[in-house]
Chains A and B, each alone.
Chain A
């Protein structure tokens, strides 16, 4: 066999993980499945809809233990979203689960009309999101989902950074009376938060304080920002890290505070640099008259480089090294 794909973290980054004492959790989509099952045991109104996606969604155990609360529709994502909407319209708390790439492209009209416009409290769950599927190529990447959904009124967009945020997001979605999109990846996550952290949709979670530069990040990129902040500390730079798990509604208060208190801001996301978290931050800052030095880190507007998720992150600087270099350049 040829060499396995290089791991997500460089040896130096792994050392920093040790220094910061970060422990390894599950993949967010697995945490989602386990946690949702625990909620569904107590609440038979929770219904999961899958499109030959229970394997990737880690919903095999859910299907076995709560077969009456799982609807399988076959490989038909548009149908899945319509059915999820119909269930929600009739009082079910429905979660439609399928790879984010198909769910938010092919079924976009169903999300827009059947869920958002009709305003039913359905939950659209995009699994293996961003470039989780790596070398399967562009058909399997979702680098457009924030952009597409940000332009659709009435849906909360959440990309959790770790298992704690995942549980918080699932609980909030289960209680929500309006539509939610949850975005999960398939790689095991590191636990980022202090035990007393609090998850609330639309409220960024401070992961680290500092006022030289602020990283504002979402989803699986937050950990790389934290590692970069750890590295930059050794260079005498104090960097703030905010987990902006909710891309919409954006926590503008936390963003503006960072802009006032820090010399520069870097936004980081596993998404196209167009239309995602970075542009949401930029628009908010510009319109509030705040103009810190600002860079958007994400997947640039080109044929995405091929390779694993780790390859793609490293290639585009979504790594401790890449983010540290950019910070040093910006702070000169």
Chain B
């Protein structure tokens, strides 16, 4: 584990992180089930990304969250807050038990990220805000000569918001090589497939045309995500990581089903989901052994 003053995340192996992802998926489902509300599909699709960020890539820790030189992460797709809370709790930003109050009267744990929670950089939830904020943060880090990097996670449906493209243009104009935009490319949004709602393909070409270095990866491959998120851009340009993911990843009946965007499992569905994840956990442990 990281020492108190070390901003580097703990050293986990790929398989340890894969195991952790399953644990985090289970916790995410538990939080949503207990609260009786939440964004299930998009939470499960971005767990591996958040896991790799907080447990391998980001130079940020509960102890050093006030340090100006820390890396910044802003979750533009704020609705996947349960996944983020779970990853932060697991990383020690606050007690896991806090999540019991999710969405309760007078709880700070509301259904979108707020800075009242230790570890949250910015209040988000209205889509299309994260990238402009991160352009500001990346500019500030450059102005102050800090080596800090700034990361944001966007939904693919979210990319219809014009503010993203305004920020994309500004980021390459200002040569923000310390900025990384990650797209949770699960191809679904609330009303169905993004290609049917308002197509944004070809995504990679769009970002390249806006002057970004584009890396397309399997968003559930711990190793590939680690490389894509760790390596700095080869030129003075921002990086866009298009993470190809599966909405509802890890639970067979939730995978690629639009209705699970904010579906809450029934007690039976919840048990079935937890069982499937436990079985996956056993399989990884067997391979590790």
B191 in contact with A72 (CB, 8 Å): yes
- Which residue of chain A is the closest to B114 with respect to CB atoms? A137
- 30 A–B contact pairs at CB < 8 A? A1-B34, A1-B267, A2-B34, A2-B104, A52-B157, A52-B189, A52-B197, A72-B191, A73-B160, A75-B158, A75-B160, A79-B160, A102-B126, A105-B126, A106-B126, A135-B103, A136-B110, A136-B111, A137-B111, A137-B114, A137-B125, A139-B78, A139-B124, A140-B125, A306-B104, A306-B108, A307-B103, A307-B104, A307-B105, A308-B105
Cα(A177)–Cα(B127), bound, Å = 33
A307 in contact with B106 (CB, 8 Å): yes
Cα(A105)–Cα(B126), bound, Å = 10
A1 in contact with B189 (CB, 8 Å): no
Cα(A122)–Cα(B105), bound, Å = 38
Q: Is A311 an interface residue (CB 8 A)?
A: yes
6 more contacts with CB within 8 A, not counting A52-B189, A139-B124, are: A52-B190, A75-B128, A135-B111, A306-B105, A306-B106, A306-B110
- Which residue of chain B is the closest to A311 with respect to CB atoms? B105
Complex interface: chain A residues within 8 A of B125 (CB): 136-137, 139-140
Range, interface on chain A: 35 or more
Tell me which residues from 37 to 65 in chain A have a Cβ below 8 Å from any Cβ of chain B: 50-56
B179-213, CB under 8 A of A: which get 1 and which 0? 00000000001110010011010000000000000
B112 in contact with A74 (CB, 8 Å): no
Complex interface: chain B residues within 8 A of A77 (CB): 161
**Given A101-B126, A311-B105, are A74 and B110 also a contact pair (CB < 8 Å)?**
no
Q: Is A305 an interface residue (CB 8 A)?
A: yes
Q: Is B36 an interface residue (CB 8 A)?
A: yes
Shortest distance between the CB of B168 and any CB in chain A (Å): 15
Q: Is B107 an interface residue (CB 8 A)?
A: yes
A76 in contact with B105 (CB, 8 Å): no
A interface, over-half SS: loop
Q: Is A4 an interface residue (CB 8 A)?
A: yes
Complex interface: chain B residues within 8 A of A140 (CB): 111-112, 125-126
Shortest distance between the CB of A133 and any CB in chain B (Å): 8
Cα(A51)–Cα(B158), bound, Å = 11
A123-153, CB under 8 A of B: which get 1 and which 0? 0000000000011111110000000000000
Complex interface: chain B residues within 8 A of A50 (CB): 191
Q: Is B35 an interface residue (CB 8 A)?
A: yes
- Which residue of chain A is the closest to B107 with respect to CB atoms? A306
B160 in contact with A135 (CB, 8 Å): no
Q: Is A78 an interface residue (CB 8 A)?
A: yes
Tell me which residues from 51 to 103 in chain A have a Cβ below 8 Å from any Cβ of chain B: 51-56, 72-79, 101-102
Q: Is B162 an interface residue (CB 8 A)?
A: yes
Complex interface: chain A residues within 8 A of B280 (CB): none
Cα(A135)–Cα(B32), bound, Å = 13
Q: Is B93 an interface residue (CB 8 A)?
A: no
Q: Is B133 an interface residue (CB 8 A)?
A: no
Complex interface: chain B residues within 8 A of A102 (CB): 126
Cα(A15)–Cα(B114), bound, Å = 38
Interface residues of A (CB under 8 A from B): 1-2, 4-5, 50-56, 72-79, 101-102, 105-106, 134-140, 305-308, 311, 315
B35 in contact with A2 (CB, 8 Å): yes
**Given A75-B128, A76-B160, are A1 and B103 also a contact pair (CB < 8 Å)?**
no
Complex interface: chain A residues within 8 A of B37 (CB): 135
Q: Is B123 an interface residue (CB 8 A)?
A: yes
Complex interface: chain B residues within 8 A of A135 (CB): 37, 103-104, 110-111
A73 in contact with B198 (CB, 8 Å): yes
Complex interface: chain A residues within 8 A of B197 (CB): 52, 72, 74
Q: Is B65 an interface residue (CB 8 A)?
A: no
Cα(A280)–Cα(B217), bound, Å = 55
B36 in contact with A76 (CB, 8 Å): no
Cα(A135)–Cα(B36), bound, Å = 11
Cα(A106)–Cα(B125), bound, Å = 13
Q: Is B100 an interface residue (CB 8 A)?
A: yes
Contact partner of A4 (CB less than 8 A), chosen from B36, B107, B112, B158, is B36
Complex interface: chain B residues within 8 A of A75 (CB): 127-128, 157-158, 160-161, 189, 198
Shortest distance between the CB of B97 and any CB in chain A (Å): 13
- Which residue of chain B is the closest to A75 with respect to CB atoms? B160
Q: Is B33 an interface residue (CB 8 A)?
A: yes
- Which residue of chain A is the closest to B124 with respect to CB atoms? A139
Cα(A2)–Cα(B34), bound, Å = 6
Complex interface: chain A residues within 8 A of B106 (CB): 305-307, 311
B110 in contact with A137 (CB, 8 Å): yes
Q: Give the 8 A-B CB pairs with smallest separation, nearest first.
A: A74-B198, A139-B125, A74-B160, A307-B105, A137-B110, A135-B103, A136-B111, A76-B160
Cα(A53)–Cα(B37), bound, Å = 18
Contact partner of B112 (CB less than 8 A), chosen from A53, A76, A137, is A137
Complex interface: chain B residues within 8 A of A105 (CB): 126
